Amino acid sequence: MKPISTLISSKIQFAGERTCENCGGKVPIIQRDGKEYSHCLACDNKTLEKEMEDFRKKSEAEAFFWNNSLVPSDTEDATFDNYHPKNESQKDAFDKAKWYADNFKELLEKGEWDSLLFQGSYGIGKSHLSHSVAMLLKQKQYKVIFADTPMLMKKIQSTYGNYKESQITIFENIAKADLFILDDVGAEYVKSKDGEESWAVDTLFSIIGSRVDKPNIFTTNYDSDGLRKKYGMHGGRIVSRMMKGTKPIKMTGDDYRVKGW
């Protein structure tokens, strides 16, 4: 660092001005000790404002995801980078999921179909790919919710008599998400003790209804007939709402969780 005496003795002169190549404004040129310096403060301020706005949006997206998502522990670290397809159906699913995440903005603008459904057996990567989409879009500052269906039903049930978080608040956040991921549809318990359909069926019907014409990703081990039977009198309507604007992706393979048993 230069001593104070040297700094004081440095000669600073106005050497003219230039036109900023970015904003077109006039920028002074300062000469000190034979060297010229010129910074556009207007552009510097705009850059700083953009960085602050990006930080705000990123923070909001992070908070929205973690405050509203319900992610099983074995899915928390799932990304596109650590997904390893074992067959052609899984490779096809990976390609389509990655394309969906990369082209999410364009899909929203085009508005033809904007949702995905991963269907297949246990442990073949449906949740992994869905969570990978969530992580990439969260990085792009979209508001995303990833909800394991059984965990979501338990959370909603826990709000009964709970004044800190209401069922209405959960529904409102789901409805306003840029992308809603409902993982493992059909894994939740939907029958009461007398064999009648429980509140969970009506709740699921309302949730999916709130997301019609909005981007969603669904994963399920059931085929369409299986889901209709699972949800009884609401089954047909639930499947119909899920599939509106939705591209189904069939996945096959062995359960990686029990490999080697």
Q: In this predicted model, what pLDDT tens digit does every residue of 70-127 receive, in sequence order?
A: 999 999 999 999 999 999 999 999 999 999 999 999 988 887 668 999 999 989 999 9
Claim to verify: residue 96 and residue 150 sit in the same structural domain = yes
DSSP 29: E
Question: What Å distances lie between residue 197 and 52, 241, 242, CA to CA?
Answer: 50, 19, 19
User: What CATH number is associated with residue 83?
Assistant: 3.40.50.300
d(CA 24, CA 49): 19
Q: Count of domains in the chain? A: 2
Residue 46 lies in a domain: no
Structural domain boundaries, residue 182: 55-258
Residue 48 domain-assigned (yes or no): no
What are the per-10-residue average pLDDT scores of the chain (261 residues)? Answer: 50 80 80 78 74 79 96 96 96 98 90 87 95 97 97 89 75 96 88 60 92 95 93 91 94 74 42
Whole-number Å distance between alpha carbons of 128 and 23: 45
pTM of the entire predicted model: 0.79
**172 and 66 within one domain:** yes
Number of Cβ within a 10 Å radius of residue 54: 11
3-state DSSP assignment of residue 147: strand
Cα separation, 98 vs 101, in Å, equals 5
Angle between helices 149-158 and 199-210 (to 10 degrees): 110
